[in-house]
Structures are given as C-alpha cells and as structure tokens.
Structure 1
Amino acid sequence: MKKTNLLPMLLFGALAYGQVGVNTDTPKATLDVKAKNMDGSTAEGILVPRLTGNTLFSAIASNTYGMDQNGAMVYVTETPDPSNQVNQTLHVDAVGYYYFNADQNEWVKMGGGNNFYNADGSLQGPRQVTMDGNNLGFTGGRMGVGTSTPDPSAILDLTSTTDGFLPPRMTKVQMDAIFHPAHGLVIYCTDCFGNKGCIMVNDSTNPLVPEWGSLCSSNTPNGDVLALDCSSATTSGTLFAGSMVSGVNTTIPYSGGNGGAYNAGSFISTGVTGLSATIAGGSLNSGNGNLIFNITGTPSAAGTANFAITIGGKSCTFSVPVNPFLGSITALNCGSTSFIPPTITQGETYSGTMSIPYTGGNGEAYGQQQFSFNGLTFTLPAGALVNGNGNLVYTVTGTATTAGTMSLPISFAGQSCNVSKTISPSGSGGSTTMCMGNGTKLWASHNLGADTSLDPNPSVVTQGLHGNYYQWGRADVVADAYTPAGNIPGWNTVNASNGAWNSGTESVPVKTGIDPCPSGFRVPTRAEWVALINNSTSNTIGTFSTSPTNFGAARQFNCPSNGNKLTLPASGTRFDLTGVLSSRGYSGFYWSNTEDGDNAYALSFTSGGVGPANGYRRTLGVSVRCIAE
C-alpha cells in the first residue's frame, strides 16, 4: 500500500479554504474525511489516540487534561485498576470511546446510554415518553399514564378508554393481616361477601384498629333488615362479675334481610360496664337470619349489661345478665402445677392439660376463663369449685413459639400466682455420642416422648424420663408413663408387617414413614444395640422391683472413650393382649427395627444383666430410644 505524508496537503487545505478534506476536494466541515474505497478492500475509518485507563489516571497528577482539552477524545483499550477509578477516571469502567468534559472534570463514555431509565437523575422540566402509542408524562410533580397532561388536581392521572385500574388483590385473611394499615388504604378483597369480591377502604384513623369499609354497591347492596328482634336474644355462656369473659356469645334474630353487606362493629355495654359486643362484617340472608355477637371484657359488677346495637339500618338493645362471683379459695399452689403430657416442645403441636391445685374452695360456680401465651391457648371451662381442696384444670392447645422457661400469670377468685414451665427446644431434645466399636454414633439423649427439659442422666430417675410405649412397626403412641396400669380398651393385637420400620437391610437401614422417631433419627437396628452394649460399660440406678409407681430404676451405659452416658429407665412393658402394665421398675425393653420371625428384636435388661438382642411379640408396648440416621 502506498503511504503519503498528508501534512503538506492538510496545511495547504487549511490555508486555502479554512477546511480540510481527506479523499475529497470539497470538504463540507472543518475536517471532512471520505472513505477511499467503498468495497471493503481497504481499512477505512479514523483512529483516535488509544490509551489505557491507567494512563489517563496517571495524567491526573500532572493536570494534563483541563479546559484547553475540553472535548478531547480517546479510545480506552483497558479499564483502569479499581483503585484508579477516581476523579477524572471515575466513570472509565469499560473499553470504548471517551471524551473529556472539562466542565465536569471527568472522562465521559460515548454511547453509554445514560438516561433516567438506567441511572439516577433529575428531570429539569416536563417529560413525555411514548411507547407503542401509550403516553407516560411527568409534569409539575405529577405523573400521567395514558396522558401527557395529568390533571392539575391529581398526583397520578390514569387515562384510558379501553383499560382499567387494578388495586392490589388479596383474600380477607391477607387483608386483615396488613400491619397497621393507613387511613384510606385501598385493596380489592377477592373473597369478601360470599366470594363476590369487593374494593375495600380502611376508614379508621387508628392504624391499630382498622375498619374496612365496602365500596361495592354495584354487586353487593348495603345491608338492610325489616326488624331486629333483641327481645328474642339468646346467650351461650355465663358472665361473672370481675371475671374476664371467655366463650360467651349472644344471638340476635332478624327478619326481612336483603342479602346486602354489613360492616364489623363493636358496641359498649351500659348498666354493667366493662364489656363489648363485637360482630364481624358479613352479608345478610335474603329473608330471616341471625347475627352473632361475641361478648368480651371484664364486667365491673353483678347486674345487667345492656348493648344498644345498629345493624342493617335498624336498632335495638339486648341485655345479658352478669352473675355475682361467689366462688372463693384461700390459695393457689402454682408450684405444684402438673402438665399432661409433661413435655411441650417448641414448634410442635401440643394438646393436653394444666392442673393447678387450690385450697379452701367454697363449692360455688365460676365461668369459663381463657388466655394465650407463647403460642398456646389455656382454657379453664366453666365449672364449680369443690368444698375444700381441688384443682383448676385448664385445657392447653397450640404450638409453642419460643423455647425456654415461660412464666404464666394465673389469677382466680382474687388469688394470683405464676406457673413456671420449660418449653423444650425443637428436635429430639439433644443427642449423645456413644461408643459403637467402629467409632461413635449419636443417640437421642431421652426416650421418645420423655420430658426433654429434664436432665437425661440424673442420679435419681423420675417419671418424666420414661416417655411413651409403642407397639413394634407402628407410629402411634399406645401409652405413656402417666397412663393407668390397667387394661387399655381397643388394644391392637395384630402384628405389624415386616419392613414396617426398616425398608432396607440391617447393615444399611432405611427409615420408613411410620418410624416414630423425629427427623434425623430412627429406631436402631438389632446390630446397633449389640454394638452399643459390647462397647460400653453399664451400671444400675435406683432399686429394681416391680411396681406401677417405681420410676427410679434404670440402667446407665457408659462410653469409655469419651465418658458419655446413656440412661435407659426400666419402664417395663404393656402386655401384648390387653395393654396392662407389666414389670415397671424391674426390667427395661427397647425396640429395634429388626424382625425375628413373627416377633421383633429388642434390648432388654434387669438388675442382673443385659440381653442386647432378644425376640419379643410385636404387639407388646415397649419403649423407644432413637439413633441418628
């Protein structure tokens, strides 16, 4: 290729015309560069100075680029080191063309596409954006969708003759769960008013007490009744002066309902004060129906509580009698409270009872009481005190949310105390590493169903450590340490099938879906019991003698290499034909998941020794100690 020094020609062109042309005699600008060939046979274009980003950074120190270089253009071949992306080279972050902006004292990427779509910025005036014929406008702090001129009275103007506006859609449960909804908050309830759906607005100025109102006059008429019949009101449950109300409802009949919607409401008592009658929002029947009001609060005195209500455009007043609280006791003994079952575990559903002893009962009646604590609901049903000493027996249901010791405030008939109850952590209640011949293995620290808040290796074994009884191959609990010693009605006398607890082999066990052990644990194999016994020393705890109340006998296995212990209470068995208790305090039996013909293997022991692999009838009720999978 022939190379020509263009400098004389450029100087001549500049002197002659004030403009320079390359490959053209008639330049149309200060510098006009034409391609020499249009067929791709030669390399065409303009090569600007090519520098690395680090070179541009080095130029900062000597003030190489200033106002005189405003508009200078370079091609960056390598991005600067991260530490050099500062000052003039702050935005030099990719290979490409850059020009120097002296006013901003920085290199600016050419063709970088910086705009308010992909970078923060400020709109200096009204802006209009059109996409496929749809307008988006920003004018005077207002936004218009579908219009370039949003109405001056609106911060958001949605304009369309073909499309509508969809507010957030959710169920009533989700609506009621909104945390502190703002006054005027709008949503669309998908299943309100008999699944018809409705736009709802929060009318309450108190975010703690939302009041959702309906805007659906088009498909749900406002509720209207011909008459409310407060004279025929019926109340379930009993109110006692000074006793918090629980489980009391009043039903009010109405006639001539129009099927329309009515809002939730709360009505305060007069006469006897301290009570509220609340009703959830809903829809009236077309014709006759009933409205149910929940009575809550603590009545201030005995007498009559009156509630003036207005529903469906009609009003009436119903009355509820409040009885004097005549029941009295001399003391509550919270320190002797018992829970059955005794173990409450975090995150696991609990259903049982809490029994609190009292003294000095006078035989009088009392109403239902209820409170909630740590995810559990405690309900004392309505009843009557005994004359003298007795127990307040609460039903306890729910799922404990937090582990640790909880203190329950109990108040009854003017007496108060606190019940202390430990909530066990989620899981098996801990694990213990024991010697197994070819190393160690984790075992559950407690029997399945035992109170995992108790020390698993105490010097004196107690009832709470015994846990549940299971028939082999079944997940159901057939008895526990608190079950009476006699026959158990409906005892199952049919053997479970082979493979019920192990769908693999004894050397490679596979836990089944009806294995009763918690996640991560399973019933041990016969071989694992043998390995534990053969690689441990053992001793007895307590006195070994047969008695339904002898909970103190146990055999303790010790791992010589680490000093860990595994204590197995001598829980006896539940007889295979009737479920009657046998040998508690004299012997212990612990299932394996391994079959023995029509029987199944279990560890057994007495004070005289240990049988690590004996066969027993599968319908016996036997203890379970779990091993890690």
Structure 2
Amino acid sequence: MKFKYLMISLLLGELILAQVGVNTTLPKATLDIVAKNTDGSTVEGVLVPRVTGNALFSAIALNLYGIEQNSLVVYVTQGADLGNQTGQTSQVDGPGFYYFDAIDNQWKKMGNGSNIYNTDGTLSGTRNVMMDGHNLGFTDGRIGMGTNSPDPSAILDLTSTHDGFLPPRMTMAQMDAISGPAQGLVIYCTDCFGSLGCIMVNDSANPLTPNWGSMCSTNVHTGHIDDLQCSGATTSGIVHAGVIASGVSTTILYIGGNGGTYFSGSFNSTGVTGLTANLDGGTLANGSGNLVFNIVGTPSSTGTASFMITVAGKSCTFTVDVDSFTANVTSLDCANAVFSPSTIIQGQSYTGTMSVPYTGGNGEPYPQQSFTQNGLTFTLPAGTLLTGNGNLVYNVTGNATSAIAMSIPITFGSASCNVSKTVTTGGGSVTMCMANNTIKAWATHNLGADTSLDPNVPVKEIHGYYYQWGVKDHVADTDTPVGAISGWNTTTASNGAWNSGTEASPVKTALDPCPVGFRVPTKSEYADLVNNTSNSIIGTFAIDPTNFGSAKQFICPGNGNKLTFPASGQRNRDNGALTLRGSAGIYWTSTDYSNANAYYYYFINSSVNSANYNRAIGWSVRCIAE
C-alpha cells in the first residue's frame, strides 16, 4: 500500500510541480530526498545500480551506453579484469562510483584520485609511507628513509642496519663526460686506479674544470707530486718503424710524492705517430718514485715519438727513438714450422715454442714481437738474425679457446707466410638416448675440463670453465678465487648469440665456445636427454667451495652409456663471486628467453629442472655434436 501511495505522490509531484520530494512536501530540486530520521535509527541514503566492471565491459558490444546516457551514475563493485580495461571501461580499475561521460565515451571514477603517489602538489604536514615494513617519511621539509624522524641537521636521512647507500656507478670515461659537475658531486668510479674502483668527489667550485678527488677504502687521498722528470726518462726495448711495439717500456722519476692515488692514463705520440704510452693507476710513494709507461702500437715512420703526459697534477714530455727495421730475411718457411710440444688441446694450458725456418738472414738485430690468436700468445724475443739460414723461435703460452684449424700469420721484414696448426678437442663423445628412439653424441667433459681424466669420476679438474651466456670466452675456472671478480661484466649478450637458427634447427654462431663439430645444446635437447634417461647422484650434495666430488649422472637404458655433470655451482651475475659449488650443477642452453634472460638446466640432489635467468651469471657449458 505504501508503494502505491509513493507512486501516486511521485506522479502528482511530476504533474503539478515538475519536482519530486521524498520525505518532504517542498522539494528544492527536480528530485529532493530528505532523510526520514537523522538520529541514526534508520538506514538512510540512496542506492544506485551496482554492477561489476566486467558487466560494463560486456555492455560495450551491445552499444548500451551512448549520448542519451550522459552523466548516468553506477556503483562498480569490482574493477574490470585487466584485459577488459579498454574502450569505455579503460578507467574502471577498481570499486567506486562511476559516471558515464558520453563526450569522451568513457566511464569515469568520481573524485579526482589525487594523492602523493600520482599527483604533484604540496604536503600540508608530515607524511609517512610504509612498504613491506620500510618507512619513507616527509617531515618539516626533510626526507627520512627507514625512519619517520629524520635528523634535524639532514635534508635526507637514510637509516638501516642491514643495507647500504649506492651512489651512481660509472666508468672513469663516463665520469669525465659529466657536463658541468657541481662541487660536491659524488659518484662511484668502477675502473679508477687500475680497475680497483673508488668513490669520487668533485671538489672544484668551477664546473668547467672539475677536480675529482678519491675516497678509497684505504683512505688514500688524491695523488700530487712536486716534479715529474721526463728529461731523465729511460726506455727498455727497441722500437722499429712499421713493427708492432712489444716489450717496450719507459720509466720516469717523480719527486715529492704525497702517498696519494693516481689515475691510469693513455697518451698518444706526436711527431712519429701510431704509438701510445699506457700507465696503470696506482699509489704514489711518499717522496720519490718511478712511473712505468708501456709503449704499444705501430710507429708510422722512423724518427722521434713524443709523449705529453700529465700525472698527479704535473705534466712533461718524454721521447722514444724509432729506428729503421734493418733486419731482413729472403724467405720464411711456414710449411715446415715446428711446435714443441706438438699437441695443442682446446681448453688446456699450453707452454711451448713455435720454430719458423728462414733463409737469407742478414745478421741484423730485431726487436721483440708479440701477437695473440685463439687464446694463445706468440712472442718472438728480441734477438739477432743469423747470416744465412736460421729459425725464428716464438714462445707460445695460453689456453686455446677453440678447437679449430689455426692459420697463424708470420711477418718479418718484407717476408710473410702463414703457419697452419690444428687445435684438438682432447675429449671424447658419448651417444645418449634422445627422443623418438634416437641417439645423439654429447661431449664427455665440460668445456675447460681436463679431458685426460675419467669424465664419470668427479674431481676438481673435470669441472671446467664458467661462461656468461652468449659470450665466447670463459670468465672463470676452478682456480679462480671464490670472491668477487674485479671488472666483472654485467652487460648481457643479444638474442641469438649462441643460436642463429631455431629451437628445432639450431645453427652454431661464431660466439659459440664449443669446439669444431660441437655446439651449445638447446633447451629441447636437454629436455630430451633428461626425459629419456635415468639419473643418479654421485657424492654428497652440499655447498662447499672445496666440494668437487658431487655430480648428477644420466644413464641411457638402451646402451648403458653415461653422461656425468659435476655440481660446479655458479659465479654471481653482479660481481662473479662463487656460490653453490658442490650443491648444484647449472648448465647453459643456447635458447634465449628474453632480452636479458636465457634458459638453463640445473641438477640438484633431488631433482632436475629447467628455468631462465639473467645472462650475466657464470655457469658451466656441456657441448653436443652438430
């Protein structure tokens, strides 16, 4: 009955007054609703239609809301799903009152939503923001992180008992490229002072002439000297025109050193160009000392090469004589070059010699010559040619990074030729059961392992190298100290660095570290190996830098062949420090995941799994036949 009376009243109000009042006979608007009671004894208010954001999204397809619904109001009980926040409901992201703006064809939330998280403005008083138990406070114009009461003397107060403050990190070149650095500007230089790294402060009041001072952990101040005596410079080694300088250095005396640190530097030659004098950063003596500059490059002509140097606030110029290269031979016989020892094995340390016969030597002296190829360094010591026939004997040291047929260019005077030498893998392969009753040959050892040892008996020497994904050269081995590695590279390789093909049809790239005939396996190939073999553990899985005896072994049920993966752990992606040795074997695949991650397989005591992670971390590599 009350409903009927209400309807009659509404109709009469519409006909007589063109205004409607609820609980009032004198409406002050088109619709004037007055509370029945104001003492809280009854439920008062207006209930507008309640819908979900997804329901409003569904209405878009039916074209229900248009110009005639302009200013319509609803209450959204639940925001639209993320995929439904589009079109008319692009702003319907949570519960609240929404009105339909037909001009913009949008549901808009009532209220401007302004707060300190998304809108600029002025804080009228103290503000404290909490996230996961950590505080950010704004108090009396000061900012406190980790405290809601920043010290009155500080505009920024960072408080913590377990975290530190990281200033911007950059190279010395990037530091020097800062435009107009302010006095007091602070950065951390990653490669200052011989790549030791140091906090640096600009203490110059003139932004056009910055003066970066050091705040190293040794509390050594910036180096200064009273005098740099280039006039007494002494040079060891001989420089010849057109010949790469090798084993040449110049020593310069300084006086009045203050015990401070000085930067590394490179100084190009003038007069005779093509040479560079390199100085490693270091610490000055208190008083007198020597600076040693290594001379590198190929001089453009005979004459005098001049080097203008600046170290620890003082400058001077020293010179190096460039002589004519008078030593000469009629011919070089690279075809009969002899290596001793004769075998070079990929990934194993090599120390030996390479002898290259020559004819028609003119008896003249020659300087040291040196070059590198495939991880090996070839050094011809300074000497004197025989008159007639003889041998150029190069000292060869290093670790051959790839098992390839090397073509080694030899040039002496006007004669040149190429020595051919094949680097062997040194390790074998074993066929393992794969998908669809197929088999595939896998390398028996990790890359960098001692391939003369039994691959199924885990010892230190079969753990091998650690590689960053997409990088050809290894970044650590089992003898690398467990701590952080100076100069660790955190830049990740590009997609396709180890596989320019597809997952189903992989193509080995030039950056693939595996020897000839092998490549880094794909994620799918590791999955085939795991899913078609049984596995067992060897040794005790426990985190210990000295634990080289744990491994996961896979056994092919068809032929009983075994493949053993040592639990070599990893080198941290941020600084190269060793972790997890003895508790996990972690092996890269050639399959990229994103611009920064790639897939890997890891073996622990109880399981075998695949995942993806940042490419800068250092893990083991096992190769598969192409």
Output the TM-score relative to the length of structure 2.
0.52
Q: Which residue matches 1:615?
A: none
Q: How far apart, in 2, do the equivalents of 1:374 and 1:511 lie?
A: 36
In structure 2, relative to structure 1, the CA distance for the partners of 1:336 and 1:450 (3 Å cut) is farther
- For the 8 Å contact 2:432–2:441, the answer to whether it is kept is yes
Are positions 1:130 and 2:123 aligned together? yes
Identity over aligned pairs, percent: 36
Match among 149, 154, 158 for residue 162 of structure 1:
154
Q: How far apart, in 1, do the equivalents of 2:551 and 2:389 lie?
A: 47
Equivalent residue of 2:171, what SS? helix
In structure 2, relative to structure 1, the CA distance for the partners of 1:290 and 1:147 (3 Å cut) is farther
Q: How far apart, in 1, do the equivalents of 2:3 and 2:384 lie?
A: 116
Residue type of the partner of 1:198? M
In structure 2, relative to structure 1, the CA distance for the partners of 1:327 and 1:258 (3 Å cut) is same
Q: Which residue matches 1:105?
A: 105
Q: How far apart, in 1, do the equivalents of 2:338 and 2:448 lie?
A: 12
1:294 is displaced (CA, Å) by: 1.8
Q: How far apart, in 2, do the equivalents of 1:404 and 1:443 lie?
A: 19
Q: Which residue matches 1:197?
A: 199
Q: Which residue matches 1:154?
A: none
- For the 8 Å contact 1:199–1:215, the answer to whether it is kept is yes
Equivalent residue of 2:10, what SS? helix
Q: Which residue matches 1:249?
A: 249
Provide, for residues 269-316 of structure 1, a one-character-per-residue CA deviation record: whole Å limited to 9, x for no partner.
456554332334555333212122221222345565444545455555
Q: How far apart, in 2, do the equivalents of 1:5 and 1:353 lie?
A: 112
1:245 is displaced (CA, Å) by: 0.9
- For the 8 Å contact 1:272–1:300, the answer to whether it is kept is yes
Equivalent runs, 1:424-573 vs 2, <5 Å: 430-433=429-432, 468=452, 510=538
Residue type of the partner of 1:32? I
Match among 212, 217, 221 for residue 215 of structure 1:
212
Q: Which has the larger radius of gyration?
A: 1
Q: How far apart, in 2, do the equivalents of 1:380 and 1:109 lie?
A: 79
Q: Which residue matches 2:59?
A: 56
1:71 is displaced (CA, Å) by: 0.5
In structure 2, relative to structure 1, the CA distance for the partners of 1:4 and 1:282 (3 Å cut) is farther
- For the 8 Å contact 2:73–2:99, the answer to whether it is kept is yes
Q: How far apart, in 1, do the equivalents of 2:285 and 2:373 lie?
A: 37
1:103 is displaced (CA, Å) by: 1.6
Q: Which residue matches 1:296?
A: 296
Q: Which residue matches 1:498?
A: none
In structure 2, relative to structure 1, the CA distance for the partners of 1:295 and 1:31 (3 Å cut) is same
Residue type of the partner of 1:216? G
1:165 is displaced (CA, Å) by: 11
The total of aligned residue pairs comes to: 441
Q: How far apart, in 2, do the equivalents of 1:87 and 1:473 lie?
A: 64
Q: How far apart, in 2, do the equivalents of 1:310 and 1:450 lie?
A: 45
Q: Which residue matches 1:239?
A: 239
Provide, for residues 24-56 of structure 1, a one-character-per-residue CA deviation record: whole Å limited to 9, x for no partner.
567666433526686687686413275833662
Residue type of the partner of 2:296? T
Are positions 1:226 and 2:254 aligned together? no
Q: Which residue matches 2:398?
A: 397
1:189 is displaced (CA, Å) by: 2.9
1:330 is displaced (CA, Å) by: 3.4
Q: How far apart, in 1, do the equivalents of 2:256 and 2:407 lie?
A: 51
Residue type of the partner of 1:162? A
- For the 8 Å contact 1:428–1:444, the answer to whether it is kept is no
Equivalent residue of 2:155, what SS? coil
1:175 is displaced (CA, Å) by: 1.8
Q: Which residue matches 2:275?
A: 275
1:235 is displaced (CA, Å) by: 2.7
Q: How far apart, in 1, do the equivalents of 2:224 and 2:189 lie?
A: 23
Equivalent runs, 1:23-102 vs 2, <5 Å: 23-24=23-24, 30-34=31-35, 45-48=46-49, 52-53=55-56, 56-60=59-63, 65-66=66-67, 68-75=68-75, 87-92=87-92, 97-102=97-102
Q: How far apart, in 1, do the equivalents of 2:357 and 2:140 lie?
A: 75
Q: CA RMSD in A?
A: 5.9
Q: Which residue matches 1:414?
A: 414
Residue type of the partner of 1:325? F
Q: Which residue matches 2:357?
A: 358
1:393 is displaced (CA, Å) by: 2.1
Provide, for residues 527-561 of structure 1, a one-character-per-residue CA deviation record: whole Å limited to 9, x for no partner.
x99x78xxxxxxxxxxxxxxxxxxxxxxxxxxxxx
Output the TM-score relative to the length of structure 1.
0.52
1:352 is displaced (CA, Å) by: 3.6
- For the 8 Å contact 2:332–2:359, the answer to whether it is kept is no
1:72 is displaced (CA, Å) by: 0.8
Q: Which residue matches 2:466?
A: none
Equivalent residue of 1:46, what SS? coil
1:390 is displaced (CA, Å) by: 2.4
In structure 2, relative to structure 1, the CA distance for the partners of 1:337 and 1:517 (3 Å cut) is farther
Q: How far apart, in 1, do the equivalents of 2:334 and 2:397 lie?
A: 16
1:101 is displaced (CA, Å) by: 0.1
- For the 8 Å contact 1:168–1:187, the answer to whether it is kept is no
- For the 8 Å contact 2:202–2:212, the answer to whether it is kept is yes
Q: Which residue matches 2:6?
A: 6
Which runs of 5 or more residues in structure 2 are unaligned?
A: 129-137, 142-151, 159-164, 204-208, 462-534, 562-622
Q: Which residue matches 1:175?
A: 171
